[in-house]
Amino acid sequence: MNQDHSAEKGVVIVTGEASGIGLALAQGLLEEGWRVLAQDIRAESVRAARDTLRTRRPRPTLASPTPPAG
């Protein structure tokens, strides 16, 4: 991935980011210069993912648990 962090590209929302494909996508987007609003239904997993993402890219990453539908 491109490592040029000189310009912010914008904000993207990633759902299901606490693990797997969502977490990998959020990591890749951060590395490309995007700001990431990450959401998942598991609050503790969201906090852990946020901390992981912040260690990989020290720019603000917003993360919030999303309550399940219903």
Res 11 pLDDT > 80: yes
Average pLDDT over residues 22-46: 84
How far apart CA 21 and CA 36 sit, in angstroms, is: 14
| Model confidence, pTM | 0.67
Res 60 pLDDT > 70: no
Dihedral sign computed on CA atoms, order 39, 40, 45, 49: negative
